[in-house]
Amino acid sequence: MTAARKDPTTVENEVREKIHLEILKRTGAYHANDHILLPSGQHTTEYIEKTLVTTEPSFTEGLGAVIAKHFAQWPVDMVLSTGPAALILSHCVARAHPSRPTVIYGTKGLSGGKRRVSLPVEFQRLVRAGTKILLVEDLVSTGSTLNLLINLVEQLGGLVVGIGCLWRRTSVELDSNRPVFSLVSRDFPTYDPEHCPFCAKGMPLNEEFVRRRHARRPSSVQEPKVP
């Protein structure tokens, strides 16, 4: 009887992914084996704290270089991202890419109650018809930010040559026919509170991350208290 063997590329990818996950764990960003309340109200066992993902420059540079290597064969004029963590990562990707692309970023906001991403005017002028753009994201959980970035590039006549990210939730179908490369492709189950097996076992619920999000929301309008 022969055991089913995995093809070596699959094994190599799995090993590489484990290394990347270990790196994220070392930054303190990745939490596992817990019983966690998500902002959606659902419960899960794993969580990524976005803000901590890019705190170690040597790790970020290493991860950025892996993304750059993956896209090395594609000529890239610019790397585009949005959000602070993705911007730090995109700098590292651009630095390591053989085309020596420039780095630009969009800003997230709301307009008429809808999420949107816009480019500063100075950057809009840099994107011309046919400009080759690599999109960089930290975490792709719904793909909605990526779709906004793709629309933005296409409206300006640019070409999205690919999408590189740190973490992609595999349950998400990206509405894109461009190559996507993720350092970690992983999903974790989420449960409604009434069907959660960990609630059933009486395991305490970690509400820390949701509390922190609520506390952070008004921070832009909070004035530091003068003693």
Q: Which is nearer to Zn ion, 157 or 193 (CB)?
A: 193
Cα 128 from Cα 155, distance rounded (Å)? 10
Q: Which is nearer to Zn ion, 153 or 196 (CB)?
A: 196
Cα 101 from Cα 210, distance rounded (Å)? 37
Q: Token match 């993705």: residue? A: 86
Q: How many CB atoms lie within 10 A of CB 120?
A: 12
Supply the minimum distance, in Å, between the C-beta of residue 187 and Zn ion: 18
Q: Which of 198, 206, 208, 210 binds Zn ion (CB under 5 A)?
A: 198
Instruction: Confirm or reject binding of residue 174 to Zn ion (CB under 5 A).
Output: no
- Residues of this chain, 24-63, that bind Zn ion according to CB under 5 A: 43
Q: Which is nearer to Zn ion, 28 or 189 (CB)?
A: 189
- Is residue 88 within 8 A of residue 54, CB to CB? The reply is yes
Size of the site for Zn ion (CB under 5 A): 4
Cα 130 from Cα 109, distance rounded (Å)? 26
Supply the minimum distance, in Å, between the C-beta of residue 205 and Zn ion: 6
Instruction: Confirm or reject binding of residue 196 to Zn ion (CB under 5 A).
Output: yes
Supply the minimum distance, in Å, between the C-beta of residue 24 and Zn ion: 23
Instruction: Confirm or reject binding of residue 209 to Zn ion (CB under 5 A).
Output: no
Output the six-digit token pair for 84: 């602070």
Supply the minimum distance, in Å, between the C-beta of residue 201 and Zn ion: 9
Q: Token match 């929301």: residue? A: 217
Query: Taking the C-alpha atoms of 84, 144, 218 and 222 in order, what is their torsion angle to the nearest 10 degrees?
Result: 30
* Binding residues for Zn ion (CB under 5 A): 43, 196, 198-199
